Amino acid sequence: MKKQSRYTSKQPDSQGLIAYTEEEHAIWHDLITRQIPMLEGRACRQWIGALDEMNLPIERIPQLPELNKVLEKHTGWNVVPVKALIPFTEFFALLADKKFPVATFIRTREEFDYLQEPDIFHEVFGHTPVLTDRRFSAFIEAYGKAGLAADPKDHAMLARLFWFTVEFGLVDNGDGVRAYGAGIMSSPGELVYAVESNIPQRKPLDPVDALRTPYRIDIYQTVYFVLDTFDHLFELSQADWSTFISEARRLGMHAPTYPPKEAA
Ligand SMILES: [Fe+2]
């Protein structure tokens, strides 16, 4: 199932520090300075506030221990380096333990605008800011616990809920649709499309509906789910997820709203 990656995650030394090249730091700089001016009016206020809390460096790729200092202060979360995409059970176990797995390589210039795999820009810029929010981090922790408790045949279903919230979630808390999902926040093209385009469907977030909705990872999304407030994520963190799963299984999958993937 897993496709061969052209990238290898970099391993930290005994201090938890990773040696990046000047060119890798320059790629980070160019990515972050392109993305920050895109946020106004497109990222939700909570996300922009959370980015300020992270105080990410502009000139260099941040090191994981410095990120953990900030996350620990706010929510007790940590980021942990992983070699590549990891199996569901490992992923769920880390999240249930308030550890967010991050790939530590950075994309090359050839894939500056788009790559399918998560790189450290996606992981750190996209994901870490909202890990400072107690409601959001409670949701991800509950997600990890629900994953550990779930039947393995429901893992792919649970992945859809993660996709439509943590990765591609939108929120409208009164001042229009805004983004908070990491897949959107780390993509200049999808940030504009997700918030401003008339093409995609935008539906209120319903967990059972999200569990039933298929997606493709290689195109802009055709459906986005919109939260009314981050408080809703906290409410979901307190819910019984096994009832969502059994209801979604009973109702079955929605038909795709995107074209089939062309054969390579
Ligand atoms: Fe991600």
pLDDT in tens, 156-168: 999 999 999 999 9
Token readout for 206 is 């319903």
Residues with Cβ–ion distance below 5 A, ligand 1 = 118, 182
Distance 166 CA to ligand 1 centre (A): 7
User: CA 242 to CA 237: how far, in whole Å?
Assistant: 12
**What is the pTM (predicted TM-score) of this model?**
0.94
Distance 102 CA to ligand 1 centre (A): 8
Contact 113, 31 (CB under 8 A): no
User: CA 44 to CA 195: how far, in whole Å?
Assistant: 10
Q: Could you say which DSSP state residue 37 is in?
A: G
Distance 21 CA to ligand 1 centre (A): 23
Distance 119 CA to ligand 1 centre (A): 9
pLDDT at 128: 98
Distance 92 CA to ligand 1 centre (A): 14
Contacts of 217 (CB under 8 A, 6+ apart): 116
Distance 251 CA to ligand 1 centre (A): 28
Partners of 81 in the beta sheet?
Answer: 102
pLDDT at 3: 52
pLDDT at 24: 97
Q: Which residues of the chain have pLDDT under 50?
A: 1-2
pLDDT at 162: 97
pLDDT at 261: 81
